């Protein structure tokens, strides 16, 4: 993945678009522990930990929770110059509950989150400039669900400009039905975005939830029809399919683990994949790196694991 920033000091830069919320997790004793999380923010943190220059493009309030978030992101090495601070607003909040198998359920309070205003006047121009300033623009299906009507139209126009300017648009299909008025609107919006992407990280389950059907081969064919140059289709069973340059191959999880908490599994996979691609590794090796990072993350509770739990650089695949 040769980016515009190759050869510049510090290497390519990724701009991640989305929302971070206050995260409350139910502990075994019934009390709640507080952290912060959001799908593209999780990816941004893991990208920064993996040595990728990363900016977060979002909005927060002027409250203490928002200030704590910004300090935490800066401590992780995530750029915060493009985080709007809107007086009188509060960040969203969610609670994680996990079952005995480590699967999670989310309860959200986010309808008035400040990020929903970043494509409205007078903020839209600055938001667009921030997203076009990097070499890679990363967003997710949850990012898409934050915006309606004119704001979504401005986001789509920004993605078009990014494609024209040579900025690589990378999209994780991460679908959550609660963020959409109906599944038909979600499907139509996804289809428009897919046509503007260079790289798509797609989940078979995302399309099944959104459209009631979806198999790996069907998803791959859809992405190809929309002109996606590089795709990773994450399968319900361990592993994924990687397609690029006319070649499709499976990449298995190297060492399956019993998860403690699957929160941020896909987000951390995306970070491992992108970091490896930006360092010059091929798509299959990058998928292996994504599996390894995600495998470490699901061994720990919460979205962001301790720094000392981060895995070493992923090994190269044998020929």
User: Would you state the pLDDT for residue 287?
Assistant: 96
Is 267 a known active-site residue?
yes
Domains and CATH numbers, the chain: 13-19+39-83+114-309 (3.40.1190.20)
CB of 177 within 8 A of CB of 212?
no
Buried b (16+ CB within 10 A) or exposed e, 135-145: bbbbbbbbbbb
In this structure, which long-range contacts are made by residues 132-135, counting pairs with CB atoms below 8 Å and at least 24 apart in sequence? 132/158, 132/161, 132/162, 132/165, 132/167, 133/13, 133/15, 133/55, 134/5, 134/12, 134/13, 134/14, 134/15, 134/55, 134/167, 135/3, 135/4, 135/5, 135/6, 135/12, 135/13, 135/14, 135/167, 135/168
As a whole number of angstroms, the distance between CA 57 and CA 115 comes to 9
Annotated active-site residue in 39, 55, 135, 267: 267
Task: For 62-102, give the DSSP string.
Answer: SSHHHHHHHHHHHHHT-B-TTEEE-TT----EEEEEE-TTS
Q: Reduced to 3 states, what is the DSSP secondary structure of residue 174?
A: coil
As a whole number of angstroms, the distance between CA 297 and CA 267 comes to 10
Residues of the chain with pLDDT under 50: 2-3, 5-9, 319
CB of 46 within 8 A of CB of 116?
no
Model confidence pTM above 0.85: yes
pLDDT tens readout for residues 20-37: 999 888 777 888 888 888
pLDDT tens readout for residues 178-202: 899 999 999 999 999 999 999 999 9
């Amino acid at each position: 993945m040769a980016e515009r920033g190759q050869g510049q000091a510090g290497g390519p830069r990724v701009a991640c678009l989305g929302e971070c919320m206050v995260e409350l997790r139910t502990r075994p004793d019934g009390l709640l522990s507080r952290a912060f999380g959001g799908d593209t923010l999780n990816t941004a943190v893991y990208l920064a930990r993996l040595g990728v220059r990363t900016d977060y493009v979002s909005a927060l309030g002027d409250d203490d929770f928002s200030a704590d978030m910004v300090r935490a992101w800066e401590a992780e090495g995530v750029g915060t110059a493009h985080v709007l601070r809107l007086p009188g607003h509060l960040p969203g909040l969610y609670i994680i509950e996990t079952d005995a198998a480590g699967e999670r359920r989310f309860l959200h309070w986010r309808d008035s989150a400040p990020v929903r205003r970043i494509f409205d006047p007078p903020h839209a121009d600055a938001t667009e400039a921030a997203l076009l300033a990097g070499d890679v623009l990363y967003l997710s299906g949850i990012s898409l669900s934050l915006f309606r009507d004119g704001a979504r139209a401005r986001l789509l126009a920004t993605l078009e400009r990014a494609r024209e300017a040579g900025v690589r648009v990378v999209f994780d299909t991460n679908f959550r039905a609660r963020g959409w008025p109906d599944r038909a609107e979600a499907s139509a919006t996804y289809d428009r975005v897919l046509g503007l992407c260079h790289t798509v990280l797609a989940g078979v389950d995302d399309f099944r939830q959104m459209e009631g059907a979806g198999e790996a081969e069907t998803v791959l064919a859809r992405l190809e029809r929309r002109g996606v140059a590089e795709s990773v289709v994450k399968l319900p069973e361990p592993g994924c399919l990687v397609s690029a340059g006319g070649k499709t191959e499976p990449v298995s999880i190297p060492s399956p683990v019993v998860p403690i908490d699957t929160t941020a599994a896909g987000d951390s996979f995306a970070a491992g994949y992108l970091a490896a691609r930006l360092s010059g590794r091929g798509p299959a090796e990058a998928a292996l790196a994504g599996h390894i990072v995600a495998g470490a993350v699901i061994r720990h509770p919460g979205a962001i694991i301790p720094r000392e739990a981060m895995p070493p650089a992923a090994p190269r695949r044998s020929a």
